Amino acid sequence: MLVLVAPGQGAQTPGFLTEWLELPGAADRVAAWSDAIGLDLAHYGTQADADAIRDTAVAQPLLVAAGILSAAALGDMAPGAVAGHSVGEITAAAFAGVLDDTAALTLVRKRGLAMAEAAAVTETGMSALLGGDPEVTVPHLEKLGLTPANVNGAGQIVAAGTLEQLAALSEDKPEGVRKVVPLKVAGAFHTHHMAPAVEKLAEAAQLLTPADPAVTYVSNKDGRTVATGAEVLQRLVGQVANPVRWDLCMETFKELGVTALIEVCPGGTLTGLAKRALPGVKTLALKSPADLDAARELVAEHTA
């Protein structure tokens, strides 16, 4: 069984969309999405520098566009399950047919703008902690006033809070944590700092008509599978200010009997976690169109 997954913010790098736009029809498709949401995705995906694509309002629609585009390049396929990390959940909702591509891009554009506005209120950020025991790490973060915003499994937790709190974390790491790595994001996502964005996203969601998932949809709120489009949309709204439990998603992948995992562009982060947490599961990250042939072979081997 194959699971198709989509990465979250921080996976973007300058120029990562360039080669994908050379595929037949890709440039026209991205141009249409750009017109629909009022953002030049091709420019940001090919020419903009790291600071420009770090902007939450830019990074989020850019990642969803790249994920949808790279998945489409695989051709017709029916994964056994789909999931996404943070904003990647909107990409996964498109994979599952809950939202059409334009609706997904419209929603993520509003999400990015709302979260950027919320992030501007206070200087905040996120840092990944490598190693350590969650039972030790989480209380330590809470002592510093930080939130364990992403519990990713495979020995990785992402802390979020003010820049002062993150600086204190760098000086006072939890026992067992090898390294604290600042992430390329512009705010403390999935924390109370994002509460103002929830209301705006809820208003945007009311304008959409979701369909029920055509394939198994795994939510990163709690790792549970979600059967209705209405609940998927509800979770996408609430997720903005609540922690991501990717560790629980991977536990669900095990329970579902997943044998292979493909991470769409810009892949790498989730396959890295899967290699450590899901031994025996074949993984592949779509970094460029050069990976498509190998990905298609994996699809053929692991889908009915």
Active site includes 127? Answer: no
Contacts 24+ apart (CB under 8 A), 40-45: 41/17, 41/65, 42/17, 44/17, 45/15, 45/16, 45/17, 45/18, 45/20, 45/21
Q: Give yes or no for a contact between 26 and 45, defined as CB atoms under 8 angstroms apart.
A: no
- The residue type of 294 is A
Q: Which residues of 140-177 are buried (b: 16+ CB within 10 A; e: fewer)?
A: bbeebebbbbbbbbebbbbbbbbeebbeebeeebbeeb
Rg (CA), the chain: 18
Q: What is the DSSP-derived secondary structure letter of residue 174?
A: P
Catalytic: which of 34, 70, 86, 219? 86
Q: How far apart are CA 76 and CA 74, in angstroms?
A: 7
Q: How far apart are CA 166 and CA 146, in angstroms?
A: 8
The DSSP line for 79-136 is -SEEEESTTHHHHHHHHTTSS-HHHHHHHHHHHHHHHHHHHTTS-EEEEEEEES-HHH
How many CB atoms are closer than 10 A to CB 7? 26
Catalytic: which of 70, 85, 140, 190? 190
Residues with a known catalytic role: 86, 190
